[in-house]
Structure 1
């Protein structure tokens, strides 16, 4: 079935010429098998018959030779006045119905020698219905039931909590963004028909949906339409920080970037180790793209180019990851693929959350790296899933990306629902090279592991504890104490202890700011912003404005489909700087408003920790002066 409201793209070049060639070939008794499209001319005027016959010839000319062979049968084509206005066509047994409403436009476009408007719509409808015949036929192999097609299309496998196996597929298709026709999401059968129609008509289909193009071309051969020149690499919107404090060069959020598979040396499974928090105890699954700096040959030295590496991370986007456990269990959070700078991910986990990172290389061929990155780009621009802490969390999403992007991994026993479990399975099956972690010092030196600052903080804390007699034994307990409780102990510090405590006090301030932001967002989401005054409006705008970093398709609404090509990238790039500056301004406004909304206790704690840092700095300078400028030892 072919619904109306389609948004037809440009017509193929040489509409009349191709139709004439096809008609001549048929008239000459071409030996190749072909569908026999017999027009039911009952009630049609001569000009309608002529336009219809040319339409049928054009459709046959668009089919690949393998398609013509598979459709070697008689199909009766009728213009039906009974089809709903929203339905362009229908395939029933050996009859192919087209909506009569398209006929007048077809005649007009035929008379004008054009293939636009309803002429294009009628051709698309006819090819769509022939796609259904192909899918149903024995020679077509029921594409809509092919597991590989369903993987590519978005009817993905699903994991069942408590089991390591995979149980069935998701009923819905969450690849709803940047679709050429939303009707493709109705069912796998309609997905096949819609995409075959675009495969045969669109010159840039191979650029916009490259994996599907390869699937259809391998099965049916390349279409006759001339292929477009694809834009280089795969575009993405960087989801890094919008404002990185004084170092504006580190503020990558909102920039349009390009992933070039030729510059990617390796892909690592990146695991953020767990902690005691309920949502974090099993870790977090990500993929690290080891991207070589411009001009550097692809090789091991690329692992040193950390500023160029990017991380693919599935996260639940609500402007906050830890708001509601219940919403996470019921799938009320959107699950989207973020592309983040590695430097930011390292800071986020090792400095703020005090969690280590393991970065284990995956044994992938060059072609597999390319198809994996291609699949990631498709997810980035099209996927808007549902995040379940148990059934569709970061580990399940990462596994599906690996499985769909690297087909041979579909046969490996990798299914599971925890990040640490996926890490073990990747290593046990030999897909991940866990040997890089065997020598801890080498792993740190070569970037296979990034230690949590917890160990360093504990070492600094031990220095201060021994020299000042601090009552706590663990650094977490020291940081959890109020800044007012810490102050008397700071004043006992000698030169070496004061230097250690200054680093810890700065860490305490980072954790404090994170807690304040968390509390502020909770108040906003729980109250609807009613109690936050002007800050609510700023936060509401900020969340809306930053949403496109996780859902970049919003930036190209109504422009093309699939992977963005050259013109769309130019449009994205043109508005990037203005969007990023607006986000920075909103961040500054929000920071000013948030300070005024701190509770009296929070405000006192903020002032106290700032005072502690300022006092320790002055105290260190004085102790250093008294020591005659000697170095610490």
Structure 2
């Protein structure tokens, strides 16, 4: 049970009048005239008439019969309304004519509590509303167990996060009084409209669902508006496991099969790989591996990123050498739209914590499917491992792995992206045959130091040079990732060498400047829910400004930080960079000379 205020006892209301020229059922919210002059009584009655006219009829009809409205000057400074028994009290400071909007909001808030409690918490106790609000189900099968509400960004009022009853009251304020509520919190708007039997009004919302796309490969972040109508299918995207502790069971993601502009949704959209996007829960946009200890203790944030598919393919198949399985999910068109809408809500509002067991990528993906597609909420899909979630999706008839049965066709149609290890071995065999290299495979070759590989590069023919260039670039990317992780481990902790302090301070400031990529709400401090047109324009401009600033600082910071790395690691990086330059130069020279 959630804690309740001591004054949250059941109250009633009698409502009787004809308001604003519209005949209403016989109720009236009685005004207590104590301490009020004639003008104040009249203004209070005008407030009551105005608010009651705005409420859905089901709400008005559902209020109990003995409510009295009065004013008090002794409420706490941060409290504008309170219920005590059958009385509603509003802060007397709101009686001022200039405070009418605030008084209206406070009265709607208290009438929301009155309706909810009169019907045994029909709203605040509803499981579906709690999930939409952010009190998500636990992955473990404990009756009634839910997480705290981590939908803390872009909230209209932080008080809504304290308990479900306050969430209901705050959101009903906006449902009744804010014309943009249907655009900013569309799922909640539809929920309340359905509950009260109101028809959903077609609001003029900004087109598409906004996401800040993080493109680490290009060092860019830009605002993208996704149109659900252009998404042909959603796939469960599984990065296969490897020997690392944090990756043994794989990584769960969702792939959005987005059709190219002008193409009607259909199977051919699977060929539009450049337009496909991936929803991935992770701590940071560039982190494939994370510390197992920090993952166990919840020290990482957990947020949903929108990433280009080609970036995901690169980081897993080329750097991590892990295959990607892309399994179509059987979802209806309206379910795809609902899922994407929920993902956008998470993207702008959610700030959870990553736990290796209880709130990892599989759990977060399950919650997104559970909350975003109401039909799936009834399926036993909860799992703490990515492979376990896939098996449950299969058993429920939601995922269809038959697309992987024909390996060649799966690769050709983009249902499977094989790890580059096999290709690296093929490339290495070309160089090995030409140069009689002693190492058995590509892994053994890349395990050599750059200086040990260097003498062979100057002897390669055109084909061998092309193969070795690909392998050296792979070695460079992996070394860069290792050095980045080394920098974080060494200099983002507490024990920082005194002489490295200035560089570390610069690194921390730089990482702070990148935080908007993982929490885009930083770019839109005003407003709540999904950003609308004017906010999107400001977000796009601010994102460009921040990206340009980061690009300007990146090279200088990297050079400054590299000198604090261990000498052997710096030598390895310089050696690989030298090898890449050397083999690239040789390849161009051989091509220009027309070498075979």
1:352 corresponds to: 319
Where do 1:149-188 residues align within 5 Å?
149-160=129-140, 165=141, 168-188=144-164
Sort the Cα spacing of 1:546 and 1:159 in 2 relative to 1 into closer, same or farther, 3 A.
same
> 1:553-586, CA deviations, whole angstroms, 9 ceiling, x for partnerless residues?
11111x2110111111121223333222112112
Q: Give the structure 2 partner of residue 147 of structure 1.
A: 127
Q: Deviations over 1:132-173 (max 9, x none)?
A: 1111123x762111110001000001123xxxx465433421
The match for 2:595 is 629
CA-to-partner distance for each residue in 1:338-370, whole Å, 9 max, x for gaps?
A: 111111111111111111111111111111111
Shift of 1:129: 0.7
Q: Which of 16, 19, 22 is 1:22 aligned to?
A: 19
Q: Are the aligned partners of 1:323 and 1:522 in contact in 2 as well (CA < 8 Å)?
A: no
Greater Cα offset, 319-328 or 291-300: 319-328
Q: CA deviation at 1:518?
A: 1.5
Once the two structures are TM-superposed, the CA of residue 213 in structure 1 deviates from its matched residue by: 0.4
Larger mean Cα displacement after TM superposition, 601-610 or 281-290: 601-610
* Aligned pair partner of 1:240 in 206, 215, 218: 215
Show the counterpart of 1:288. Answer: 255
CA distance in structure 2 between the aligned counterparts of 1:31 and 1:490, rounded to whole angstroms: 88
Describe the SS at the equivalent of 1:238: strand
Q: Could you list the runs of 5+ residues in structure 2 that have no partner in the other structure?
A: 6-15
Distance 1:318 1:264 in 2: 23
Is residue 70 of structure 1 aligned with residue 56 of structure 2? no
Q: Secondary structure at the match of 2:312?
A: helix
From 196, 200, 203, give the equivalent of 2:176.
200
Residue 541, structure 1, aligned to residue 509, structure 2: yes
Give the Cα separation in 2 of the matches to 1:223 and 1:126: 24
1:15 paired residue number: none
1:585 and 2:578 are equivalent in the alignment: no
User: Which residue of the other structure, out of 123, 131, 147, is the alignment partner of 2:112?
Assistant: 131
TM-score (norm 2): 0.91
**Cα deviation, residue 327, structure 1:** 2.0
Q: Which residue of 1 aligns with 2:197?
A: 221
Note if contact 1:62-1:223 (Cα within 8 Å) is conserved in structure 2: no
* 1:52 aligns to 2:44 (yes or no): yes
Secondary structure of the 2:138 match is strand
Please give the alpha-carbon distance, in whole angstroms, between the structure 2 residues aligned to 1:436 and 1:283.
19
Aligned counterpart in structure 2 of residue 459 of structure 1, from 426, 443, 447: 426
Residue among 82, 86, 95 paired with 2:78 = 86
State which of 160, 167, 184 in structure 2 corresponds to 1:191: 167
- Maintained 8 Å contact 1:33/1:72: no
Please tell me whether the aligned partners of residues 159 and 166 of structure 2 are also in contact (alpha carbons under 8 angstroms): yes
**Farther off after superposition, 478-487 or 287-296:** 478-487
Q: How far does the alpha carbon of each residue in 1:415-449 deviate from its partner, in whole angstroms, 9 at most, with x for none?
A: 00111111121122111121111111111111111
Contact 1:204/1:227 (CA < 8 Å) preserved in 2? no
Aligned pair partner of 1:32 in 11, 25, 32: 25
Listed as ranges, the gaps of 5+ residues in structure 1 are: 4-18, 110-117, 245-250
Call closer, same or farther: CA 1:532–1:296 in 2, change over 3 Å.
farther
The Cα shift of 1:264 comes to: 0.9
**With structure 1 as the length reference, what TM-score do the two structures score?**
0.86
Distance 1:366 1:63, change over 3 A: same
CA deviations 1:252-290 (Å, max 9, x no partner) are x22111011011111111111111111111111111111
> Contact 1:23/1:54 (CA < 8 Å) preserved in 2?
no
In 2, distance between residues paired with 1:585 and 1:615? 28
Distance in 2, matches of 1:381 and 1:291, equals 21
Out of 580-589 and 457-466, give the one that drifted further: 457-466
What's the counterpart of residue 389 of structure 1?
356
Match of 1:231 in 2: 206
Deviations 1:44-95 (A, max 9, x none): 1111111111111112111111111111522111212332121111223322
> Residue 320 of structure 1 contacts residue 521 of structure 1 at CA under 8 Å; is this kept in 2?
no
Equivalent position to 2:268, from 301, 305, 320: 301
1:101 CA drift (Å): 2.5
Cα separation, 2, equivalents of 1:63 and 1:617: 72
Number of residue pairs aligned between Structure 1 and Structure 2 = 583
RMSD: 2.7
Report the CA distance between 1:616 and its aligned residue: 3.9
SS of residue in 2 equivalent to 1:257:
strand
CA distance in 1, matches of 2:588, 2:285: 44
Q: Aligned to 2:149, what secondary structure does the other structure show?
A: coil
Deviation at 1:406, TM superposition (A): 0.3
1:314-340 deviation line (CA, Å, top 9, x unaligned): 111497564532221121211111111
CA deviation after TM superposition for structure 1 residue 472, in Å: 4.1
Give the C-alpha shift of residue 608 in structure 1. 2.4
Structure 2 CA distance, aligned partners of 1:315 and 1:203? 34
CA contact (8 A) 2:462 2:595 kept: no
Task: Provide the secondary structure at the position in 2 that maps to 1:158.
Answer: coil
For residues 405 and 372 of structure 1, the distance between their equivalents in structure 2, rounded to whole angstroms, comes to 4
Which residue, out of 329, 338, 341, partners 1:371?
338
- What is the deviation of 1:409? 0.4
State the distance in 2 between where 1:318 and 1:359 align: 20
The 3-state SS of whatever aligns with 1:239 is strand
Aligned match of 1:101: 93
Alpha-carbon offset, residue 307 of structure 1: 1.4
Q: Given the alignment, which residue of 103, 117, 121 partners 1:122? A: 103
Contact 2:214–2:285, Cα closer than 8 Å, also in 1 = no
Alignment of 1:378-417 (within 5 A): 378-417=345-384
Alpha carbons of structure 1 residues 188 and 62: separation in structure 2 relative to 1, 3 Å:
same
Question: SS state of the match for residue 344, structure 1?
Answer: helix
